[in-house]
């Protein structure tokens, strides 16, 4: 699936996806003219917790939910606005995403497939709403796992905030992830790692190093994301179309537990480098089966263990 | 955080609504929608305290030129007066474009 070549327009002809706000991103991913927002700013579903802490609310709590079509098929896009509170997931913002996914699940179960897309641009849970934010992130994750059996759940990580914290786990549960070079995907952000483990562990100002570790190119090369696309709105929309056309995955990345345990066992934390991560975790190029004993991706009996329990 | 309200006389009816901006650093969000009464009412929620007189100057000037009967809600995250005026102009432009096109300012809104 990484072999899909998605070519972007020449640089000057591109429309940057990164520079778009959440609403325009959602619009760019849906077929032209089909964008219809649910629970928009005039519904004023705002955080009840931020004003108590002296923080100004945004009328949509930083999440845009839009219905429309993708390649003519019904779709729902949940796009996170990174400019509001760092794209953090509070109770309302997260509930909007979880609710949209749960409604899509209900439609799928009733034989009306809905294509779900999540545009991740988030530092993770909103610390001002800590436990409620965490609870709702769990709901989002649970909805993704239920939904991905019926229809691919496609995530987009364009940058520049990236995708961190609990929402990085939600991203990892998606069927397929589309990233740009500017996008980053990781559990803890560089500043947090430096603060907690010291500058010897990671210098958060070393941008080259950080992108080598968690940037889109590295994540795709090591199989934690699926498609690397230029920062171009139409190229990203095309990548999302392709991701849906590839159908439901089997097994899902997060079900290949033994494969990842085996790969992790081959990593020496003392000497690991970005290239070693690519060598060990690189996705297998074979579509259906392969003879490579080091490839755990096609070990179906092990990979399906989680699902069958 | 400070809450400020302003009121101005209005001359004509506005039929559509608009939403522009984001509550991000140095920026603000404007929600603008038709007012049932023939006047303009503005409610500002701002993260920066003590600038009520600046808000009054910026809004007095803006609503001396635009006299539609609207309600305006502003959620501000430290926007400068220039940004405030630009965002208001953007919102007004959106409702005027909708009026000229004979439709709603936000076609994505649920009906």
Q: Which of B24, B46, B109 sits opposite A83 (nearest CB)?
A: B24
Domain ranges of chain B: 2-101
Q: Do B23 and A41 touch (CB under 8 A)?
A: no
Tokens of A123: 């530092």
Q: Do A42 and B47 touch (CB under 8 A)?
A: no
Q: What pLDDT was estimated at residue A295?
A: 55
Q: What pLDDT, in 10s, does the model give residues B38-84? A: 999 999 999 999 999 999 999 999 999 999 999 999 999 999 999 99
Q: What pLDDT was estimated at residue A288?
A: 56
Give the homologous superfamily in CATH for domain A11-249. 2-enoyl-CoA Hydratase; Chain A, domain 1 (3.90.226.10)
Contact A230, A169 (CB under 8 A): no
Q: What pLDDT, in 10s, does the model give residues A206-260? A: 999 999 999 999 999 999 999 999 999 999 999 999 999 999 998 999 999 999 9
Closest Cα in chain B to A84: B24
What 3 state SS string does B56-89 have? Answer: HHHHHHHHHHCCEEEEEEEEECCCCHHHHHHHHH
Q: Do B75 and A58 touch (CB under 8 A)?
A: yes
CATH no. for B2-101: 3.30.230
For range B80-104, the mean pLDDT: 89
Domain ranges of chain A: 11-249, 255-309
Confidence tier at A293 by pLDDT (50, 70, 90) = low
Contacts made by residues A204-211, CB under 8 angstroms, sequence distance 24+: A210/A184, A211/A181, A211/A184
Q: Which positions in chain B touch A42 (Cβ < 8 Å)?
A: 17, 19, 31, 33, 109
For range A158-162, the mean pLDDT: 94
Per DSSP, helices labelled H in chain A are 22-29, 91-109, 130-147, 166-173, 190-197, 207-214, 216-221, 233-245, 257-265, 274-281, 300-303, 305-308
Query: Based on C-alpha coordinates, what's the Rg of chain A?
Result: 19
What b/e string do you get for A141-162 counting C-beta neighbours within 10 Å, with b at 16 or more?
bbbbbbbbbbbbbbbbbbbebb
Closest Cα in chain B to A87: B24
A interface residues, B as partner, C-beta within 8 Å:
21, 23, 27, 35-38, 40-42, 51, 54-59, 66, 81, 83-85
pTM of the model: 0.90
Average pLDDT, chain A: 90
Closest Cα in chain B to A65: B108
Closest Cα in chain B to A82: B24
The one-character DSSP state at A31 is: P
Q: What pLDDT was estimated at residue A305?
A: 39
**C-alpha–C-alpha distance, residues A240 and A117, integer Å:** 8
Q: What pLDDT was estimated at residue A285?
A: 64
Q: What pLDDT was estimated at residue B101?
A: 82
**C-alpha–C-alpha distance, residues A58 and A45, integer Å:** 9
With a cut of 90, say whether residue A156 has pLDDT above it: yes
Q: What pLDDT was estimated at residue B108?
A: 45
Q: Do A40 and B109 touch (CB under 8 A)?
A: yes
Q: What pLDDT, in 10s, does the model give residues A262-290? A: 999 999 988 889 998 999 998 766 555 66
Q: Do B22 and A81 touch (CB under 8 A)?
A: yes
Lowest-confidence pick of A5-19, A38-52, A177-191? A5-19
């Amino acid at each position: 699936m990484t072999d899909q070549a998605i070519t972007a327009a020449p640089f000057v002809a591109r429309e940057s996806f990164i520079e778009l706000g959440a609403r325009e991103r959602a619009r760019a991913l849906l077929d032209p003219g089909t964008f219809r927002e649910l629970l928009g700013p005039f519904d004023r579903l705002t955080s009840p917790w931020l004003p108590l802490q002296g923080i100004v609310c945004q009328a949509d709590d930083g999440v845009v939910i839009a219905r429309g079509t993708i390649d003519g098929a019904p779709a729902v896009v949940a796009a996170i606005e990174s400019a509001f509170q760092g794209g953090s997931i509070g109770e309302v913002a997260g509930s909007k995403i979880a609710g949209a996914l749960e409604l899509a699940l209900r439609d799928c179960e009733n034989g009306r497939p809905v294509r779900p897309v999540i545009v991740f641009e988030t530092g993770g849970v909103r610390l001002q709403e800590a436990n409620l934010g965490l609870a709702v992130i769990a709901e989002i994750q649970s909805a993704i796992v239920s939904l991905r059996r019926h229809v691919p759940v496609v995530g987009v990580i364009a940058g520049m905030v990236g995708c961190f914290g609990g929402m990085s786990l939600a991203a990892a549960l998606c069927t397929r992830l589309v990233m740009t070079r500017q996008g980053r995907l990781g559990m803890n952000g560089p500043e947090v790692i430096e603060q907690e483990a010291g500058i010897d562990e990671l210098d958060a100002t070393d941008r080259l190093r950080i992108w080598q570790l968690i940037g889109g190119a590295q994540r795709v090369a090591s199989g934690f994301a699926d498609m690397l696309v230029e920062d171009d709105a139409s190229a990203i929309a095309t990548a999302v179309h392709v991701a849906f056309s590839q159908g439901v995955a089997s097994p899902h990345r997060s079900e290949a537990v033994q494969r990842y345990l085996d790969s992790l066992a081959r990593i020496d934390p003392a000497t690991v480098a970005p290239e070693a991560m690519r060598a060990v975790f690189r996705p297998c190029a074979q579509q259906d089966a392969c003879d490579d004993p080091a490839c755990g991706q096609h070990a179906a009996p092990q990979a399906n263990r989680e699902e069958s329990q | 955080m400070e809450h400020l309200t302003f009121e101005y006389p209005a001359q004509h009816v506005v039929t559509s609504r608009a939403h522009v901006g984001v509550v991000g650093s140095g920026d603000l969000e404007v929600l603008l929608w038709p007012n049932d009464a023939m006047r303009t009412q503005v409610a500002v929620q701002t993260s920066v305290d003590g600038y009520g007189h600046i808000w009054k100057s910026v809004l007095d000037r803006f609503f001396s030129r635009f006299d539609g009967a609207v309600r305006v809600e502003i959620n501000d995250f430290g926007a400068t007066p220039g940004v405030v005026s630009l965002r208001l102009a953007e919102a007004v432009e959106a409702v005027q474009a909708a009026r000229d096109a004979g439709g709603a300012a936000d076609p994505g809104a649920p009906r």
